[in-house]
Amino acid sequence: MIYDIAFALNQGIVVALLTAMNSVVSNTAQPEQIRFNIAVPPDEVAFFEKEITTFFGNPDFSWRVHPFMPPQFMQDYIRAKYEPMTPTRRMSRFMQYARLFFNDIFGDVTKVLYLDADIVVLGDVATLFETIEFTPSRYFAAVPHFYPAIFQFGNPFKAIEEMLAFECSFNSGVLFTDFTYWDEATEKTLHHYLDWDAACKYGMLNRGDETLLNVMFKNYIQLDRSWNRCGYGNMQPLARLLKQPLDQINVIHWSGGHHKPWNNPNIVYGDIWWKYAAPKSEQTTPVPGTV
């Protein structure tokens, strides 16, 4: 079995990608079964290929980097929702929505584990691939979030029916799905919610692509919370309250704010991130404003 892991990002956080990849293979019993699928802006493919080759040399696992630009309808939506943006920030937004199109970017993938780059993986990803079963009616899995669905919507009063349909919202930094089951109905659902947000002057899907995924996949399979221990990018007093024993963590996720371990090694679990990072002299400096 191939364990397909997916990332989507631009070059500003390549150090995070390399560290995340290293954590995955370091904690997988059979790294030769891992295949990394990395979507990047079209003009950055060569950059990523060079950085990955420099970091890993000739690894046991496989990897590939493919260019991605959203289809025109999604570009139009992103521009309408988020403009004005700098070109760098616009490309970062494009990459955030790439997770919806991995079946188009990598045509041979089926079961895929998507990861945000600001994570380290401490568990063996094989566990998910070998234990989670998808069906035509339930083909999406994520970790339940610690805050209610009401925070996903810019206008909760207009979203009452949507909120009542939620059992629990999820954080989109760790997603597991099988694209075998993504069909015309899935695409129709996507367009329905994009149109709904547009009709509400782009103010309904409060957390952007995360809310979009939440409303598309309310009936998701709930993964154990250990697979996305998130919130460690928040203000550090709050992050410290979220700490868990390491034996209860499979994924550490510095979500929720701008505190990232490659910028500040003293944040919660920052020392663990640095165990998997390249030596400081070998690192590419992140581009400000792209995280």
pLDDT tens track for 126-145: 999 999 999 999 999 999 98
- Rounded to whole angstroms, how far apart are CA atoms 20 and 95? 17
pLDDT tens track for 213-265: 999 999 999 999 999 999 999 999 999 999 999 999 999 999 988 999 999 98
Interval 163-175 mean pLDDT:
92
Whether 171 is in a domain gets the answer yes
Whether 291 is in a domain gets the answer no
Structural domain span for residue 11? 3-282
Whether 191 is in a domain gets the answer yes
Whether 288 is in a domain gets the answer no
Interval 18-31 mean pLDDT:
98
- Rounded to whole angstroms, how far apart are CA atoms 215 and 11? 30
pLDDT score of 247: 95
Whether 140 is in a domain gets the answer yes
Interval 259-282 mean pLDDT:
87
- Return mean pLDDT, the chain: 93
Does the pLDDT of residue 271 top 80, yes or no? yes
pLDDT band at 147 (very low <50, low <70, confident <90, very high): confident
Q: What is the CATH number of the domain that holds 226?
A: 3.90.550.10
End-to-end CA distance of the chain: 33
167-206 burial: b if 16+ Cβ within 10 Å, else e: ebbbbbbbbbbbbebbeeebeeebeebbebbeeeebebbb
Interval 32-45 mean pLDDT:
98
Whether 56 is in a domain gets the answer yes
Whether 287 is in a domain gets the answer no
Does the pLDDT of residue 116 top 90, yes or no? yes
Cα angle value 95/220/39 (rounded, 5°): 20
pLDDT band at 279 (very low <50, low <70, confident <90, very high): low
How many structural domains is the chain composed of? Answer: 1
Does the pLDDT of residue 85 top 60, yes or no? yes
Whether 249 is in a domain gets the answer yes
pLDDT score of 148: 81
